[in-house]
Amino acid sequence: MSDAVSRRELLSKLVRGSVLAGMGGAALFLVKKANGEIVWQVDASRCVNSRLGEVGVEACTLCTSECVVSLSAVRAVNDFSKCGRCNVCPAYFDITSAVNELGLPSQKLCPRDAITRKMIGAADPEDPANNFYEYVIDEEKCDGCGRCVMKCKAPLGLGSITLKVRYNKCLDCNRCAISLSCPKDAVTQVPKMAGLEIKLAEHTE
Amino acid sequence: MPRALRALSVVVLLLAAAAALCAQAIEYSRPVETAPQQETIGGGYKTPAVQKPLPRGWWLDILDVVLLCAAMGASVWIVIKRRKRRWLVGLSIASLAYFGFYREGCICPIGSIQNVVVALADPKYSIPMVAIAVFFMPLVVAVFFGRAFCGGVCPLGAMQELVVIKPLRVPKRLDQGLGLLKYVYLALAILFALKPALTRDFLICRFDPFVGFFRFTGAPYMLATGGVFLIGGMFIGRPYCRYLCPYGGLLSWCSRLARKGVTITPDKELDCGLCTEACPYGAIDQMRAVGRKCLYCARCYASCPCDGELAQAKKALVGIGGAQ
């Protein structure tokens, strides 16, 4: 009786050992492969809101509605080196709205009022239209709806605003929900360094 | 005739007003052809850096893994050594807060099945280190101690654990039949993960019932499914864990090998069956804990007259009686 029990014990030890060894082997195999991380990023040349040629259509807001986190992990980002700093910015103002007493459109474009502007230098007293502004998009307010991106691109603007993934919000889902519904397949997985634009930044500086 | 005229004049006026409104919109043309740069602007102006929020630091990933380890250790210690149901509820709430609401249900061992499968099958796919650790650790623990991950650590489990109010006994046959569903789900998840990269689908993530609650947003059908699981979970103990969780399937295989899991101690027992009554998961069969079904909730110990809180209450009562 005790012999049978000890034999069973031995067998179970053997099974357990082999299961653990198998798991260890699989883990080692996987660890070897776990090099080079990938992240999701919006390809501006494919995104409907930023790619050239598609004007006069409604901005695509899927990045806002499809993302699984409550404030979308995609946000609009203004590349200041490309920004025209215009007095009447088509991404800041709704240029179809009525003109107010200052000669500017009365409505702003952003539905969440995420864009603020600050005059650069001193105001020109003779010609108020001759002032330049710095346009900053508030990270915490922007939900990546892309309306400003659509208006900023040529011919209206210089295309300095594009949609980008913010990695402090992105959960790095196995299959990004936005990528599933994106009509232009603009949300793709890229190597981490490319996604963070680290090399690009070093290159331009 | 005058009435028609009046109506006509109103229409004309309205049209004129509309035209005037339209005319009031600005005549827009792009004022500059090239972006002014720091040098052309002058006045000491500095072009601000582009906003680039970086991902979580790597040490936070390590912290996740360490916390998962610690939580499983705590779960084993509380259930096997201390046999304290209340402490385990505390651990469940803490895990739910951290792995569920703070980490928004990502990354979880249940979903990591798919990453592991994809990494094994697709040579181009690079799996995150965290996913490897998170996938194997609960399985290793299960080989020695049983499903310690399920009790007190898994946020999905904790969510259901906390809503069990009046569990009904599921007939054994039905319980076994429904239990097979999780293997079907596991097979489907693996099958969909094995597809080529473009058509690959991550079923477990897509149909995770509670992740919508953790993130306070989600597709309506998923929130509805989660709600059904929670309401159903009041009367059927942890339905997702027992009948659908694909990782639960793997854990229950591993826990068959466990020798130090939850046991109903034979030398102390009374054969009263209170533990069987108390177990909402049908994991006590003929007064013995069934390791592959046991979800580490410690309800059996809490209800035992020889052990746990009931026994302590009894001792206290005896103490009072002795004093009188």
Residue B33 lies in a domain: no
Tokens representing A100 are 């107010």
Q: Which residues pair with A136 in a beta bridge?
A: A116
Q: CB-CB: which of B31, B41, B47 is closest to A87?
A: B31
Does position B13 have pLDDT exceeding 80, yes or no? Answer: no
Tokens representing A40 are 């999701």
Q: Domain span at residue B102?
A: 60-310
Residue among A106, A145, A51, A157 nearest B25 (CA)? A106
Number of structural domains found in chain B: 1
Residue B296 lies in a domain: yes
Tokens representing A16 are 């357990």
Paired sense of beta strands A187-191 and A115-119, if any: unpaired
pLDDT, tens only, B160-206 = 999 999 999 999 999 999 999 999 999 999 999 999 887 888 999 98
Rounded to the nearest angstrom, the minimum Cα separation between B188 and chain A is: 16
Contact A121 B206 (CB under 8 A): no
Residue B151 lies in a domain: yes
Is there a contact between B233 and B166 (Cβ–Cβ < 8 Å)?
Answer: no
Is there a contact between B148 and B76 (Cβ–Cβ < 8 Å)?
Answer: yes
- Chain B contact set for A105 (CB, 8 A): 25-26
Contact A19 B257 (CB under 8 A): yes
Angle of the B85-95 helix axis to the B308-323 helix axis, nearest 10: 140
Residue B31 lies in a domain: no
Residue A55 lies in a domain: yes
Tokens representing A66 are 């499809």
- In the structure, what pLDDT confidence band is assigned to residue B293 with cuts at 50, 70 and 90? very high
- Chain A contact set for B206 (CB, 8 A): 175
Residue A2 lies in a domain: no
d(CA A136, CA A50): 18
d(CA B129, CA A79): 33
Is the ipTM higher than 0.85? The answer is: no
- Among A68-82, A106-120, B66-80, top mean pLDDT goes to B66-80
Q: CB-CB: which of B51, B202, B211 is closest to A174?
A: B202
Q: Domain span at residue A200?
A: 38-204
Full DSSP string of B33-102: SSPPPHHHH-TT--PPPPP-PPPPPHHHHHHHHHHHHHHHHHHHIIIIII--HHHHHHHHHHHIIIIIII
Average pLDDT of span B93-102: 95
HSE (CB half, 13 Å, CA atoms) of B223?
Answer: 10
- Chain B, 189 to 248: residues with Cβ < 8 Å from chain A are 200-202, 205-206, 211, 215-218
Judged by a CB distance cut-off of 8 A, whether residue A26 touches chain B is yes
- In the structure, what pLDDT confidence band is assigned to residue A205 with cuts at 50, 70 and 90? very low
- The whole-number pLDDT of residue A149 equals 92
pLDDT, tens only, B235-250 = 999 999 999 999 999 9
Number of structural domains found in chain A: 1
- Chain B contact set for A157 (CB, 8 A): 30
d(CA A61, CA A54): 15
Residue A23 lies in a domain: no
- In the structure, what pLDDT confidence band is assigned to residue A204 with cuts at 50, 70 and 90? very low
Is there a contact between B116 and B127 (Cβ–Cβ < 8 Å)?
Answer: yes
Residue A28 lies in a domain: no
Judged by a CB distance cut-off of 8 A, whether residue A11 touches chain B is no
Does position B4 have pLDDT exceeding 70, yes or no? Answer: no
Residue A114 lies in a domain: yes
Does position A200 have pLDDT exceeding 50, yes or no? Answer: no
Neighbours of B5 (CB within 10 A): 9
- The whole-number pLDDT of residue B7 equals 65
Residue among B172, B281, B197, B173 nearest B235 (CA)? B281
d(CA B159, CA B152): 10
Q: CB-CB: which of A20, A77, A82 is closest to B35?
A: A82
Q: Mean pLDDT over all residues of chain B?
A: 86
d(CA B297, CA B150): 9
Does position B285 have pLDDT exceeding 90, yes or no? Answer: no
- In the structure, what pLDDT confidence band is assigned to residue A106 with cuts at 50, 70 and 90? confident
- In the structure, what pLDDT confidence band is assigned to residue B100 with cuts at 50, 70 and 90? very high
> Which percentage of chain A shows pLDDT scores above 90?
33
Residue B125 lies in a domain: yes
Does position B268 have pLDDT exceeding 70, yes or no? Answer: no
Contact B119 A155 (CB under 8 A): no
Alpha-carbon separation of residue B194 from A59, B119, B122, B188, B253 (angstroms): 35, 9, 8, 10, 22
